[in-house]
Structure 1
Amino acid sequence: MATETSTPPGRASTGRRSRRRGVPVPYDFRRPTKLSRQHARVLEITYETFCRQWATLLSSTLRTTVQVELDGIQQYSYDEYVASLPVPSVMAVFDPQPLVGAGILHLDTPALLGWVDRMLGGNGGGQQPTRALTEIESVLGRQLIERTLTELAFSLTTLVDLHPSLTSLEQNPQFAQAGSATDVMIVATFELQLGGSAGQATLAMPLDSLSTALTAAELRVASPEELRTRRLMRDRLDDHLEHIPVDVAVRFAPAALRPDEILALAPGDVLRLPHRADTPLDIVASGARIATAVAGSRGPRLACLVVPTPEESA
């Protein structure tokens, strides 16, 4: 199950269909995935159950065949996720008790308007407008979302005894206060087919509390031998990680130049760096500062001596 950070859910999808074609998903080592492969697989199975339950609910409510398919599970920060949602939008914020944090169910506005049309006796066809919901549409949409959350709780029974309650229905995601900008969310993307129309929905849950529930469920079903094997593999992985070579560099403070100054550079030119002579150099790895050092030599080779950072010295 791909859980790497990639294109936000409101844009092009890189979930299950990409994996079926054998296309690798880019991995950003500066923002590591915190959801293990085992947990991602458990979530995939759980959400596939939710797809079947949700499709049955929508089919019986809308009096037509509805297909719901899991498209992928990805990891995003809350800020990235909200920024990817269109405006206006249908963003249902719910309290996923006993999990800590807030969950979000997002629906395409035109898709929800088509559902409301069918609930009111229409055929749900034609091009639906992209606009804010009226008061009646909001009430009908809220009722359908609350029933959807009931099906979600049923699907997660094997993981956690979930009691979700809808707290708000926002139509501008920027106004929703469902988490801080850096909170990590696990976002599941669903493709919905209703007759000849298609829609998309996303379900976002807080990673930390969801991982805790997944770990607890995993420990409940794992045998002692499986637990011993996992501990052994984890210890081996930790040992090998400590001996992986990593490229590091010693860096002066950067100098800022205008484009015309850069284009005018020629061999032999000397640049004045804004680095004070009494200021330690930065030791960096993958662009991140990990320590400070002073320049020196060791025999015929240039070297540096690691020293306390100015913050540590203070």
Structure 2
Amino acid sequence: MAPETSTSAERTGGRRSRRRGVPVPYDFRRPTKLSRQHARVLEITYEAFCRQWATLLSSTLRTTVQVELDGIQQYSYDEYAAELPMPTVMAVVDPEPLVGAGVLHVDTPLLLSCVERMLGGAGKPGQPQRVLTDIEAVLAKGLLERTLVELAASLTSVVDLKPRLTSLEQNPQFAQAAAATDVMIVAAFHLQVEQASGTATLAMPLDPLSAALSAAELRVASPEELRVRRLMRDRLDDHLEHIPVDVSVRFTAAQMRPDEILALVPGDVIRLPHTADTPLEVVASDVHVASAVAGSRGQRLACLIVPTPEESSR
């Protein structure tokens, strides 16, 4: 009887379902470049990869294996490599025809447990975090190469991928798969092999992957779908221009010590370091967007937008 396999789709109460409700902080200094629609396509694709990977591991290790997708995030390559343990197992991948390089990483203790099963052992949990021997590295490389075949099969709807394992590194500092600032799309997986468990990650270069997703989207979209998408994009642009934004006008701030603030009483005058010929700052969400001079319009206070000091000096 073939060993059973299961994925996150069959475990609605598992880790992945709990993680869906966890808010993820958004860094506006590094906006996400992967659209929500492309992220959803990748999520569906990687869930299919989980099923195929679980089947491969179950047949190879002759035991029950569960693989589930934990999430998809955007990191720079430097951030991604810095979070990996050392020593570790990093398969540097040439994702032909995509430009650049990818990385398939698997926890060393989990991989050692798999290798032990491949050699006829029990695959006990709690394996040491150590460098692989030459024999272990050869077995691990073969298992990862077969994993890449399943990855290519899962991505057929997006790109005709022909991934090739170029090197197997055990020190993240030596695996120069990309430049430090290159943006990577990192998919995290949780694997359960009998009593042993661990994590794996798949990092792919963002720009080539996004281009492949866009091309695949155009291949399957009908003319009517493309027309509706353009219409929705135009409507979104129109509505963005009419969204109300809170704007304030402020003087140059004054710095005071805590004891000076505590000593203030009604009637005190605070001297501001703002000269009479210096324009006021027009601020939205604490961002300086323009300069202005104070004035009035009828019974109301108002301001007149003027060139910034930098523009006036040109």
**Is the contact made by 1:296 and 1:305 (CA closer than 8 Å) also made in structure 2?**
no
Shift of 1:68: 1.1
- Cα gap change, 1:34 to 1:308, in 2 (>3 Å): same
Q: Distance in 2 between matches of 1:287 and 1:51?
A: 44
Question: Structure 2 length normalisation: TM-score?
Answer: 0.79
- Cα gap change, 1:232 to 1:264, in 2 (>3 Å): same
Q: Distance in 2 between matches of 1:96 and 1:251?
A: 53
Q: Distance in 2 between matches of 1:232 and 1:140?
A: 53
Residue in structure 1 matched with residue 188 of structure 2 by the alignment:
189
Q: Distance in 2 between matches of 1:312 and 1:112?
A: 65
Shift of 1:111: 0.6
Residue in structure 1 matched with residue 301 of structure 2 by the alignment:
301
Q: Distance in 2 between matches of 1:173 and 1:276?
A: 55
Shift of 1:125: 0.5
Residue in structure 1 matched with residue 161 of structure 2 by the alignment:
162
Identity %: 65
- Cα gap change, 1:88 to 1:29, in 2 (>3 Å): closer
Amino acid across the alignment from 1:190: F
- Cα gap change, 1:159 to 1:313, in 2 (>3 Å): farther
After superposition, the CA RMSD in angstroms is 3.1
Amino acid across the alignment from 1:265: I
Q: Distance in 2 between matches of 1:88 and 1:103?
A: 19
- Cα gap change, 1:209 to 1:249, in 2 (>3 Å): farther
- Cα gap change, 1:33 to 1:120, in 2 (>3 Å): same
Amino acid across the alignment from 1:96: P
Residue in structure 2 matched with residue 28 of structure 1 by the alignment:
26
Q: Distance in 2 between matches of 1:210 and 1:68?
A: 23
Q: Specify the structure having the higher radius of gyration (Cα).
A: 2
Give the secondary structure class of the aligned counterpart of 1:131. coil
1:95-244 correspondence to structure 2 within 5 Å: 95-244=94-243
**Is the contact made by 1:132 and 1:171 (CA closer than 8 Å) also made in structure 2?**
yes
**Is the contact made by 1:14 and 1:72 (CA closer than 8 Å) also made in structure 2?**
no
Q: Distance in 2 between matches of 1:61 and 1:280?
A: 72
Amino acid across the alignment from 1:25: P
Q: Distance in 1 between matches of 2:174 and 2:276?
A: 49
Residue in structure 1 matched with residue 9 of structure 2 by the alignment:
none
Q: Deviations over 1:35-82 (max 9, x none)?
A: 223222221221122112211221222222212112222223333323
Q: Distance in 2 between matches of 1:280 and 1:126?
A: 68
**Is the contact made by 2:106 and 2:200 (CA closer than 8 Å) also made in structure 1?**
yes
Residue in structure 1 matched with residue 6 of structure 2 by the alignment:
none
Q: Distance in 1 between matches of 2:311 and 2:206?
A: 32
Shift of 1:26: 3.9
Amino acid across the alignment from 1:87: M
Amino acid across the alignment from 1:203: L
Residue in structure 2 matched with residue 17 of structure 1 by the alignment:
18
Amino acid across the alignment from 1:184: V
Q: Deviations over 1:192-229 (max 9, x none)?
A: 11001211111111222111111111111111111111
Give the secondary structure class of the aligned counterpart of 1:99. coil
Q: Deviations over 1:144-203 (max 9, x none)?
A: 212211211111111111111223333232443233344332221111110012111111
Q: Distance in 1 between matches of 2:313 and 2:18?
A: 53
Q: Distance in 2 between matches of 1:51 and 1:281?
A: 58
> Could you list the runs of 5+ residues in structure 2 that have no partner in the other structure?
1-13
**Is the contact made by 1:15 and 1:73 (CA closer than 8 Å) also made in structure 2?**
no
Residue in structure 2 matched with residue 78 of structure 1 by the alignment:
77
**Is the contact made by 1:16 and 1:72 (CA closer than 8 Å) also made in structure 2?**
no
Shift of 1:29: 6.4
Q: Distance in 2 between matches of 1:127 and 1:212?
A: 41
- Cα gap change, 1:294 to 1:67, in 2 (>3 Å): same
- Cα gap change, 1:122 to 1:286, in 2 (>3 Å): farther
- Cα gap change, 1:99 to 1:280, in 2 (>3 Å): farther
